[in-house]
């Protein structure tokens, strides 16, 4: 049966891949982002033009959320799934952060998820059914020096999602939080030349958007877990670091050196002219 799904951050990265794959699965998808032009490419993935709805959405704006969710619920007679994918990142040490940086991370990454969840519930609670999937990060399991604001915002997403999952399950609503490692997206590209983001590159490789889309579609949307870290080995390492900050402190310098080496390798040789 065709599901009614909203995907935020659908102009690029994980959101774009998820929207395309869900359309190929035959679902009805509302692709939402501030950048409309790239989402037009999703039309090629829709078997029927009526499957795809494209909406402008600023996740920081509760009114915009009410408009998008209300329109989908009215036109499609309900809402089955909300995928909160939209997110941002700026590397920076704590002493460098400006008020604008603080607002940037918390308004989009954290408040966007909260406002989206609240809007979706207005459609899902009368149905007594629905699934909200929030994309956090391994940075929401373990603190990440150099990405303190991003890590703080994702810790908040994880905490909010877990609390919401416990509250809402008796009401028929499932909430899942997905915590992936670094994923090869435009967000990762901007970190490549920044040593403050070295810990982002401390794994053996970056995940692909195809891998994350596969996990969400094949595992999260079918099994509806409360939390899932990807990949599992790095997830266990992040949980250990989060559980024991003292131990994490001993690990960070080694992981930072590993990340710096991988950044250098990914950038390739410097060519002088």
Would you name the residues annotated as active-site residues?
A: 150
Strands in 173-180's sheet, in edge-to-edge order, are 52-56, 28-33, 4-8, 81-84, 130-135, 173-180, 227-230
Name the helix (H) or strand (E) containing 2: none
- Angle at CA of residue 140, ends 259 and 173, nearest 5°: 145
> Residue 27 contacts by C-beta under 8 Å, 6 or more apart in sequence?
2, 3, 4, 5, 51
In sign, the C-alpha dihedral spanning 124, 156, 230, 104 is positive
Using CA atoms, how far apart are residues 251 and 254, in angstroms rounded to an integer?
6
CA dist., res. 247 & res. 160, Å (int): 26
């Amino acid at each position: 049966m065709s599901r009614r799904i909203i995907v935020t951050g659908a102009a690029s990265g994980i959101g774009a891949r998820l929207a395309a794959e869900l359309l190929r699965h035959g679902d009805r998808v509302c692709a939402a982002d501030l950048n409309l032009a790239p989402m037009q490419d999703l039309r090629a993935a829709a078997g029927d033009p009526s499957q795809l709805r494209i909406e402008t959405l600023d996740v920081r704006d509760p009114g915009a959320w009410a408009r998008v969710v209300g329109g989908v619920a009215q036109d499609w007679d309900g809402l089955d799934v909300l995928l909160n994918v939209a997110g941002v990142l700026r590397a920076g040490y704590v002493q460098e952060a400006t008020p604008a940086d603080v607002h940037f991370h918390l308004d989009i990454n954290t408040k966007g998820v909260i406002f989206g969840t609240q809007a979706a519930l207005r459609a899902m609670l009368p149905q007594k059914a629905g699934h909200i999937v929030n994309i956090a990060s391994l940075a929401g399991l373990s603190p990440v020096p150099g990405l303190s604001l991003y890590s703080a915002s994702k810790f908040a997403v994880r905490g909010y999602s877990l609390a919401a999952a416990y509250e809402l399950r008796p009401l028929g609503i499932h909430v899942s939080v997905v915590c992936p490692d670094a994923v090869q997206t435009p967000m990762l590209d901007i970190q490549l030349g920044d040593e403050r983001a070295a810990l982002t590159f401390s794994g053996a490789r970056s995940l692909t958007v195809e891998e994350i889309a596969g996990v969400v579609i094949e595992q999260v949307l079918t099994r509806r877990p409360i939390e899932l870290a990807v990949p599992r080995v790095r997830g266990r390492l992040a949980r250990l670091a989060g559980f024991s900050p003292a131990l994490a402190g001993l690990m960070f310098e080694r992981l930072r050196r590993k990340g710096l080496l991988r950044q250098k390798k990914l950038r390739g040789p410097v060519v002088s002219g």
